Amino acid sequence: MAEREIRLLGDPVLRRTAQPVPALTETVRALIADMFDTMYGADGVGLAAPQVGIGDRVIVVDPRQDDVQPFALVNPVILERSSEVDRAEEGCLSIPGLQEIVERPVRVTVAGLDRDGAPVRMAVEGFVARILQHEIDHLDGVLFIDRVSPLKRKLLIDKWKKLHR
């Protein structure tokens, strides 16, 4: 299909709560295809619709692992989170050039619809769980910099401003 422009930190669409998709139409399927193209073009492992300026609850994920096929989720929700957490570095296609350590649950159970509209429920852990939490955060207007201490967030935003003068 086509790559779309990735919206960057400061774009209001990144802070809005995305709306549920009422029906899986050809327009939504085209969006999913474009999102995969955009994610691959930017060398990412996940992308949420708000990152391409669309306020729908749609994400695409490809952790680039042999045992996990790329997938899309429409209207994803996190049903369960493990009490066990892990700290790992995260970055974001909407905030290029910034990375920081973020603490997240190690395991999550997520439900939604696949690109054909079939219900999906998956229990995942590790890197895939981290990607899903990061992308679902985007659907709620939350960025990874919101998951760090206020001091680190300020330092990251100051660094972002210097990089994008």
Q: Which of 3, 5, 84, 135 is catalytic?
A: 135
- Angstrom distance (rounded) from CA 38 to CA 44: 9
Amino acid letter for position 14: L
CA 109 – CA 111 distance, rounded (Å): 7
Q: Are 137 and 112 in contact (CB under 8 A)?
A: no
Q: Which H or E run contains 125?
A: strand 119-125
As a whole number of angstroms, the distance between CA 122 and CA 108 comes to: 8
135 is catalytic: yes
Would strands 58-61 and 71-81 be described as parallel, antiparallel, or unpaired? antiparallel
Catalytically annotated residues: 135
